[in-house]
Structure 1
Amino acid sequence: MAADVAEKSIKSAQNSGLAGRLAREITGDVLFDAFSRGRYATDASFYQIMPLGVVVPRSMDEALRALAIARDEGLKVTPRGGGTSQCGQTVNDGLVIDVSKHLNRILSLDIENRTCVVEPGIVLDDLNRQLKKHGLWFPVDVSTASRATIGGMAGNNSCGGRSLRYGTMRDNTLSMEAALADGALARFGDVPRDLSDVKASATTLALFRDMLDLGAREADEIADRFPKVQRRVGGYNLDALTPRNAPNNMAHLLVGSEGTLAFTTKVELKLWPVIRNKALGVCHFGSFYEAMDAAQHLVKLKPIAVELVDRTMIALGRDIAMFRPIIGAAIRDDPDAVLVVEFAEEDQATNLQRLKQLTELMGDLGFGWTNDKRKWGGVVEITEPALQSGIADFRAAGLNVMMSMKQEGKPVSFVEDCAVPLPHLADYTARLNEVFAKHGTSGTMYAHASEGCLHVRPVLNLKLEKDVKAMRAIAEEAFAMVREYKGSHSGEHGDGIVRSEFHAAMFGERLVADFMEVKRRFDPENVLNPGKIVDAPRMDDRALFRYRPDYRITELKTRLDWSAWPGAGGGFQGAVEMCNNNGACRKLEGGVMCPSYRATRNEKDVTRGRANTLRLAISGQLGPDALSSDEMMETLKLCVSCKACRHECPTGVDMAKMKIEVLAARVASRGLTLRDRLVGYLPRYAGIASRFAPLANLRNRSALLRKLFERFAGISARRALPAFRSDVFAPPTEAVGPVDGCEVVLFADTFNRIYERENLDAALRVLVAGGYRVHLPKPVSGTRPLCCGRTFLSAGLVDEAKAELDRLVASFAPFAARGVPIIGLEPSCLLTLRDELLSLRKDDDAKAVSAHALTFEEFLIREAEAGRLQLPLGAVGEKALVHGHCHQKSFGAFKPVEQVLRLVPGLKVETIESSCCGMAGAFGYGADTYDASLEMAELSLLPAVRRADQATLVVADGTSCRHQIHDGSARDALHVARVLAMSLDRAKANPTTSSHKDIPNG
């Protein structure tokens, strides 16, 4: 034990010295603390290897300097992009160099010749967004396009769903520039076999000569042993070196090398014209075998993709809110599998003709909408672009959809990428299912049927030794079958740790010796990402697993209900472990998730990074009391609890809810800060503050008080706090509106009641004008107004929040029992009743209140669609620019906002494609979060508001959203209720131009 302690002490001192040297010589982030290293210890595989440290260079020169220092110190180096590798390519115990944050530029673009040169850290979707305006795109469309970097895609020789038309990464890489292990820079591209006219150093020329000689020497062996399928990405691409491929592109040897041969600095890509027209045929099959057998026939119609979605993926997708309507529109009845066939010729008439031929072909193959399950099937034609995009998003999320199973066993990637010739696909998958059953499990299958490369995952619990043994046996038997069919055991995601050890059986000992020769010639000191492709460990070495044999969860008393999640250590553990590291939260555009990452680009500030930190903390890997530590608070500091991950993460990681648990643990361990008290207890003292409003608002008018608040309470001096007012909203003592009107309850939340009573006044007027009888119930207990407890939850004061919700439920439950809708104006408050309330109470009263809780707009649209809403509305302007509250988007409650505004005559509604506004309750007022708050707002919201002319109405339902818009643009945003009240006034003033709207227009 003493020796272990001494060794750790020496290693710590060495690490400290190395970190210091790196920090002195580069300006980028140097991360050697346990929390940061832990966030880089995993990728999307089931492995976990703690790195020595992490460098996030600001320039390529800094990246190469870090490489030189590592070489000088005798360290391994692993380059990393999005960290989404599924085979363990981007984990190692040396130095990780993250190129994704800064090294992400397009360096040159040749539109005429359709080429570009990029840095390795550029994300595929970001690249294509920039290319789109030129009518071009890079078509290796991997499902992780929103976070996969070009460098990582080159390292894996990625393929994407449309490789049938466009080929693999190798087919679209023209050249690469890279640093060799010794630091020498070289350009890899087309070379003649005699290397004449190649401008390179003598060292590089000698390297090229040796590689070409190897290719010539082993040409026959390569031709004999390399699988003859397009989806062959295993081993090194020695076939790029043979005389038959002259002139030889040396970059193709680096493609698929997984960072083991050189450190990429630039990649030259071949570009293609964007797809302008598409038509999809969703081919339904009652039998999975028949679907697989049909694939070889469907490709004869020359689609650009044929993608499999199996029964399991369909069922899981129906349980995910964002995909439910897509499946409802595209999937008929209960198929065992569907094949999504995509046509994308330039002329849409050609695509429609192919779609017709597809329906005819399915008939020729004997499929019809019959009672014969074996031959049951047909084609659902999809020509509407929005639905086509939705189907593409669903298929792209296949991995995460499969991983959304709420059980300890998950679909595991290790025979994930096997590719076999299409005529054998049906037999291969049938036999594979027999192998799974033999070992006591079943599997999921989806993806690239057009290429005979299905993403196949047996369901296993790798915390159990028996399941690890089953994994090993399944791998050996599956790979033997693949070899029998002359296929490839690596068809898209590369080798990594999972498949590298099986190369001898696949390629033969002679070619594996050639792989070793290539590695030694490029990297004689074994510096670059060792253990991948050659010299690999056993794939089932549990010492390398995320869940090692000694993995244990420390006891944690949770405050919220986590029973919906699995986990031997309790539901909270299961919820945390739902994160599979696939990185959907790293997307930079579209949706809301993850606003803090979009602002900082730090792994620490993304949902995945936080979930990893929580998992390491609760399992004791970050030391004692890690859950309530300062480092954990730093990890969660920029989480704005937007709840976007709850909706947009396909595995349902709910970081906002997890943060409440962590804050509660922190309060129990460390107590409350002054800022937490001021924020959390706002509902308790707001009434008193309003009586002394001028005094309570003095802080905003005094520079000295602003500075004191910043120093002692952590509230930024640069931000004015919402002003208290003395004329707070006082609910009427009796219900208002027609005696015979339909009853509703209006929830007067703390924020609108204290700060912006105009919204409640407006909502009351609109509801009464619509013919409703409006109740504003008094508290059953106490005299303090009702509150949802939102501010208490944000401070980790769960007991106090529950006390507020108990009072609210007691007051609202009698109405809910009668079916009376409970309507709220502030999204974060009203939706607390649909979310956190049920995490604190499971009784019938709480369920009833939750079930009847509706946002103002949800209620109005429900009534309008039922023909019950009659509002005399007048024109208020030509255009409304709308920002959606994050919680509205998370709960699918934003579309009604747009629909309600379209009830106003002549009003054009334009939605700002925005993430979180950045204010997020008290977040934007923090001295330590003020800058991040504005960075989030500046991503899209504030620029859009500033571009709007003064006649345009700016609309935002969230209190914090309106304050952020005001502070950042000097524009006043309105709640929808006020827009409708204005419309009522205009109709009253001009009765001849008013209109009664009972359904949403547009």
Structure 2
Amino acid sequence: MSETIRPGLSRRLSREIAGEVLFDRFSRGRYATDASIYQMMPAGVVVAKGADDVAAALDAAREEGIALTMRGGGTSQCGQTVNSGLIVDTSKHMNRLIELDVAGRRALVEPGIVLDDLNRLLKPHGLWFPVDVSTASRATIGGMAGNNSCGSRSLRYGTMRDNVIAIDAILADGTKGRFATLEQAARGEPPRDLITAMLALGRREAEEIAARFPKVQRRVGGYNLDALVEDDAPVNLAHLLVGSEGTLGISTAVEIRLSPLPKASKLLGVCHFPTFRAAMEAAQHIVALKPTSVELVDSTMIGLARDIPMFRPTLEAFVEGRPAALLLTEFADEPEENAESIERLEAVMSDLGYGFSRGGAHEGGVVTVSDPKLQSAIAELRAAGLNIMMSMKEAGKPVSFVEDCAVPLEHLADYTDRLTAIFEGHGTRGTWYAHASEGCLHVRPVLNVKLENDVRTMRAIAEEAFAMVREYKGSHSGEHGDGIVRSEFHEAMFGARIVGAFKEVKTAFDPSNLLNPGKIVDPPKMDDRSLMRYPPGYAGEDFATVFDWSSWTGSAGGFQGAVEMCNNNGACRKSAGAVMCPSYRVTRNERDVTRGRANTLRLAISGQLGPEALHSDEMAETLKLCVSCKACRRECPTGVDMAKMKAEVLYQRGRKRGFSAKDRLIANLPLTAPLAARIGGALGLRDKVGTFAGLSEKLFGFSARRSLPKFRRDHFRDAEGDVPAGARAHGTAEGSAEKPGVVLLADTFGRWFDPQTLRAAVKVLGAARYAVETARPLSGRRPLCCGRTYVASGMADRAKEEAERTIAALLPHVRAGRLIVGLEPSCLLTLRDEFPALVPGKESAEIASAALLFEEFLAREIKAERLSLPLAPLGRKAYLHGHCHQKAFGAMPAVEAALRLIPDIDLVTIESSCCGMAGAFGYDAETIDVSLAMGEASLLPAVRAAPEDALIVADGTSCRHQIHDGADRQAVHVAEVLAGALASGDG
């Protein structure tokens, strides 16, 4: 099919479509990849608002002679959602639950609805959609139907095909039809001649289908021709569309079968094995116990997860010793049945010779997990298996192409041994995880697909692996579909006659090859490098960076290696839970998610978006809504640190194009604050006189709808933070020589805007009998500064100067055994995050290891049993909002521990993403709408709903400002709460 585009296509679509029409190079680039190794630049993108938009896009594509490919979450691992024609994205707008029949356990949904979002709507009704794929936070129902997704509990609930009742679809010629069982299809049924042809094909090929289709549940390759064979169940034409990867029709609504929610009393038996083969041999015996699922985690995944902060505590809670493999075995029946099943599981493991010895030597055994929170954390870890594997910071990465082959369980151990030998024979290794219960293990050999030799190795491994799968009568595609990776191998798997039938089906549905060509039928070679993300000649722009990126080795190293850590799996696209990615949750634009930004950066530095793309206005727009929350630093399992990347790009752009007056004003806040404090009364007129507010918006871009922070004449002075050893604030008492000395880092925001927070901290530390000294510069009167405002404004070179000055001043204290304690999360944590990257070396590492948030210091002292505070009950409920950086650095448990020092406190931690203020972001006239929307997502409604006499606790200056402006409540720092609870009576 010709991909020549008439110039009027974009204009036509803009006239006819209610959704967005994106034909610029940056937008197209963001849709050129999915979670596979492939990249194809589309001609344009339509973000459809409804079925009418889909139909209009299809009409335009057909008349222009251009291919059309549907896209949901873009998480396909075989290249299903990339093509050179028109891409239609349903995930932003077409995400409604159209109908719900609770009694009948069925629902009608739009194809763009995300699985987790759907299940949140179903939960109040005691129902869920049980095809629980690991990408549930971003996988759409339409995409899952297109791939015939399976999920970890398919042992009990089956695949997508087993749970789809009907599909409303548009055919390539524009005909609309409802594909369902034939007796249901009377309402808007597909064309009768198409039905007749398909039934005739099913009858003709019934014997060949029975002979050639693998007899394993995890078979999702090719078209589901077996759905056309008339047996005990009526033919359901929707099941032919399921797994067709958008090549036969376009779904506009999907009717699905629901299931009752699993019992809350489920039990998880974590089976430990001393060797990998032992786990594989045991799988068939464990499956005989009829668990809900049996999921594999191997030693490679365990080791990688231990290096990821968000998963380390989970591993420590349930992994005994150093197992070579784990089988996570879930039972979700009645409590008595679950307990009996665990007993049988332990008996099976004992019969196989595995148990924990009393001497502590690890031989294997079962750890039973009953705590629902730990079960959820373990499930989250397993679901992140792909991204955990991809977190390797080296030139080679685990590559998906043989990863979801499925073989009968009795052959699983031999299959894995032989596949491991194939990998070793080609000089590489594999990583293993996932569905041991189905004989469908995700395995990825480590290769560098930028190298021609490794691409040849990939093909050789694929050919040998698929031949072995056929020998075991398994399926070469057990979960993730065909796409570009496996479609060319269909003839070897199914035979020429079945492949001929596949072509016959494609021709009957789509004679012009309009819909997602090159998938399943007439595919390209899987190793065609021109279709890959890293084609021949791929290289990144070499430029001097201000941050140290050396820990990202990648295949190119440095900044490029860091950018390429994004594997496009889309964990950043979740719409609820944790923090990442707050701007995407508001806009739902691919541009505004970590994945979209990382893809744009990769294309820019490799020259694929034109000259000077890194410094362009389009790149600035791409990064504009990144609030530098650092959530991706923690929550992205591959460690894509977009906050630091944004700071680097802003610095590079500033060097080329200069900085605005607003940028300079914000960056130099630590320098101008003393003067601003002296004239604070005059500055206060800005918020009282509308003309002044409008003028500040016109001159500097500060929104007239946002109040500015108040500079305090009674600002914090260094001498206030000095508490001698043995002294006690508001009293005298002997301190303990065993207690560490504290160096208080008085941040710019606390010093000039919220001095009461610093004074409260001094009071609490003094009451606890710690020696405190405010950190001071080695020379001059200018207070120390972490450089946060310079980092945020792109002046990272100035931030580096501040870091060097601060390191020099703090180093003597640290080497004397004192700890650095700060109150403002964004400032103190700069010492731990940006300082080592701006000033790499031993000295910055020493500072980073000694820097603690106030609450982290208290939690540390609680654990060491050194903290004694005379606190009285406050008699008030407390609602806690966590600063993004507290969450990114795992400090929230410390905040909660500090507040729970208060007797009888009733603490509620608000589940929230970013508050939306994010430093200067919330003041900017261009971003204030997004800022307010972020706050309204969860934080501000929760604060408004809190009782009037409740404490609202927020440690971030920006967070407190957002709460004040958006909910008219005064939030306080944890230090203020503790100071108010001191039993001295003057709090």
Q: TM-score range by the shorter chain?
A: over 0.9
Provide the residue aligned with 1:618 in structure 2: 605
Taking the aligned partners of 2:232 and 2:811, their CA distance within structure 1 comes to: 76
Counterpart for residue 75 of structure 1: 66
2:299 aligned partner: 311
Matches within 5 A, 1:153-232: 153-191=144-182, 198-200=186-188, 204-232=191-219
2:54 paired residue among 63, 74, 94: 63
Contact 1:230 1:451 survives alignment (8 Å): yes
- SS of 2:151's partner is coil
Indicate whether 1:683 and 2:674 are aligned. no
- Cα distance in 2 for residues equivalent to 1:449 and 1:927: 53
- Give the superposition deviation at 1:875: 2.3
- 1:475 aligns to what? 462
The secondary structure found in structure 1 opposite 2:53 is: helix
Name the structure 2 match of 1:968. 966
1:478 corresponds to which letter in structure 2?
A
| Partners of 1:146 and 1:245 in 2: CA distance | 36
Per-residue CA deviations over 1:642-696 (Å, capped at 9, x if unaligned) read 0000000000000000001100001101001011011101001111111121223
* SS of aligned partner of 1:479: helix
- Name the residue aligned to 2:277: 289
Please give the alpha-carbon distance, in whole angstroms, between the structure 2 residues aligned to 1:670 and 1:757.
37
Residue of structure 2 in register with 1:606 after alignment: 593
Counterpart residue number, 2:759: 761
Q: CA deviation at 1:374?
A: 14
Q: Is the 8 A contact 1:287 1:374 kept in 2?
A: no
Change (3 A) 1:891 1:17: same
CA RMSD of the aligned region, Å?
1.7
**Which of these residues, 283, 292, 301, is aligned with residue 289 of structure 2?**
301
Specify the code of the residue in structure 2 equivalent to 1:878: R
2:135 is aligned to 144
2:421 is the alignment partner of 1:423? no
Aligned-partner SS, 1:833: helix
Any idea what the Cα deviations from partners look like across 1:306-358, whole Å, max 9, x if unmatched?
A: 1111110010011111111111121111111111111111x111101100110
Task: Say which SS state the counterpart of residue 133 (structure 1) adopts.
Answer: helix
Q: For the residues of structure 2 that align with 1:775 and 1:711, how far apart are their CA atoms?
A: 43
Deviation at 1:897, TM superposition (A): 0.9
Give the letter aligned to residue 220 of structure 1: E
Match of 1:792 in 2: 790
1:943 corresponds to 2:941: yes
**Any residues of structure 2 matched to 1:742-761 within 5 Å, and which?**
742=739, 743-761=741-759
Q: What is the distance in 1 between the residues matched to 2:231 and 2:653?
A: 66
Instruction: Find out whether 1:902 has 2:918 as its counterpart.
Output: no
**TM-aligned CA deviation for residue 616 of structure 1:** 0.3
Q: Indicate the residue corresponding to 2:865 in structure 1.
A: 867
| Deviations 1:889-928 (CA, angstroms, capped at 9, x unpaired) | 0001111111111111222000110000000000000110
| Residues 322 and 362 in structure 2, CA contact (< 8 A), matched pair in contact too | no
* C-alpha distance in structure 2 between counterparts of 1:147 and 1:324, whole Å: 24
Question: Which residue type is aligned with residue 304 of structure 2?
Answer: L
Deviation, 1:778, is 2.2
Kept in 2: contact 1:287–1:375 (CA 8 A): no
Letter in 2 for 1:163: S
Match of 2:845, SS state, is helix
C-alpha separation between the residues in 2 aligned to 1:930 and 1:596? 12
Aligned to 1:997: none
1:372 and 1:492, CA in 2 relative to 1: closer, same or farther beyond 3 A?
A: farther
Give the Cα–Cα distance (whole angstroms) in 1 for the partners of residues 110 and 743 of structure 2. Answer: 57
Which residue does 1:34 correspond to in 2? 25
SS of the residue corresponding to residue 554 of structure 1 reads coil
Q: Give the distance between the partners of 1:328 and 1:812, measured in 2 at CA.
A: 34
Tell me if structure 2 keeps the 8 A contact 1:875–1:987: no
Q: Is the 8 A contact 1:955 1:975 kept in 2?
A: yes
1:1000 counterpart residue number: none
After TM superposition, list the pairs within 5 Å mapping 1:78-89 onto structure 2: 78-89=69-80
Distance 1:828 1:374, change over 3 A: closer
Question: What is the TM-score when the length of structure 1 is the normalising length?
Answer: 0.95
Of residues 275-284 and 820-829 in structure 1, the stretch that sits farther from structure 2 once superposed is 275-284
Distance 1:860 1:76, change over 3 A: same
Q: Which runs of 5+ in 2 are unaligned?
A: 727-733
Q: Deviations over 1:455-476 (max 9, x none)?
A: 1110000000110000000000
Instruction: State yes or no: 1:327 paired with 2:325.
Output: no
Name the residue aligned to 2:532.
Answer: 545
Contact in 1 for aligned 2:180/2:237 (Cα 8 Å): yes
Aligned equivalents of 1:607, 1:482: Cα separation in 2: 37
Inter-CA distance 605–759: structure 2 relative to 1 (3 Å threshold):
same
What's the CA shift string for 1:726-763, capped at 9, x where partnerless? 12111217832444644211111000100111111111
Distance 2:633 2:724 in 1: 38
Distance 1:294 1:754 in 2: 64
Structure 2 counterpart SS, 1:988: coil
Whether 1:988 aligns to 2:985 is yes
TM-score, length of structure 2 as denominator length: 0.97
- Shift of the 701–288 alpha-carbon distance from structure 1 to 2, 3 Å rule, reads same
Paired residue secondary structure (1:248): coil
Partner of 1:520: 507
* Aligned pairs for 1:640-719 within 5 A: 640-719=627-706
Residue in 2 aligned with 1:999?
Answer: none
Q: Which residue of 1 aligns with 2:381?
A: 394
1:207-247 CA distance string (max 9 Å, x none) = 11110000000000000000000000000000000122541
1:486 aligns with 2:468: no
Instruction: Supply the distance in 1 between the matched residues of 2:106 and 2:326 (Cα, whole angstroms).
Output: 36
What residue in structure 2 maps to residue 272 of structure 1?
259
- Count of paired positions: 974
Determine if contact 1:738/1:768 at 8 Å carries over to the other structure.
no
Q: What is the alpha-carbon distance in structure 2 between the residues aligned to residue 869 and residue 246 of structure 1?
A: 70
Sequence identity of aligned pairs in percent?
Answer: 63
Deviates more, 1:154-163 or 1:245-254: 245-254
Q: Structure 1 pair 47/894, CA: closer, same or farther in 2 (3 Å)?
A: same
SS in 2 for 1:400: helix
Contact 1:287 1:373 survives alignment (8 Å): no
The 1:148/1:771 distance shift into structure 2, 3 A limit, reads same
1:243 aligned counterpart, secondary structure: coil
User: What secondary structure is seen at the aligned counterpart in 2 of 1:116?
Assistant: strand
Q: Higher mean Cα deviation, 805-814 or 443-452?
A: 805-814
Partner Cα distance (1:461, 1:147) in 2: 27
Amino acid at match of 1:68: D
1:576 counterpart residue number: 563
- Cα distance in structure 1, aligned partners of 2:676 and 2:745: 21
Q: Counterpart amino acid of 2:195? A: F
Q: Could you tell me whether the CA contact under 8 Å between 2:323 and 2:362 is conserved in 1?
A: no
Superposed displacement of residue 27, structure 1: 2.0
Q: Which moved more, 1:447-456 or 1:802-811?
A: 802-811
Counterparts of 1:715-730 in structure 2, within 5 Å, are 715-730=702-717
Q: Deviations over 1:100-136 (max 9, x none)?
A: 0000011111111111110000000000011010000
Partners of 2:849 and 2:497 in 1: how far apart? 67
Give unpaired runs (5+ residues) of structure 1. Answer: 1-7, 991-1002
Query: How far, CA to CA, are the matches of 2:232 and 2:561 in structure 1?
Result: 51
Partner of 1:592: 579
Structure-2 separation of matches of 1:372 and 1:93: 62
Contact 1:877–1:951 under 8 Å retained in 2: no
Q: 1:934 aligns with which of 921, 932, 935?
A: 932
Q: Do the aligned partners of residues 568 and 226 (structure 1) sit closer, same or farther apart at CA in structure 2, a change above 3 Å counting?
A: closer
Query: Once structures 1 and 2 are overlaid, which stretch shifts more, 804-813 or 49-58?
Result: 804-813
- Find the residue that maps to 2:108 and give its secondary structure: strand
Partners of 1:371 and 1:771 lie apart in 2 by 44
On the 8 A contact 1:690/1:696 being kept in 2, the answer is: no
Opposite residue 782 of structure 1, the aligned amino acid is G
Which of residues 867, 873, 876 in structure 1 aligns to 2:874?
876
Mapped pair 1:47 → 2:38 = yes
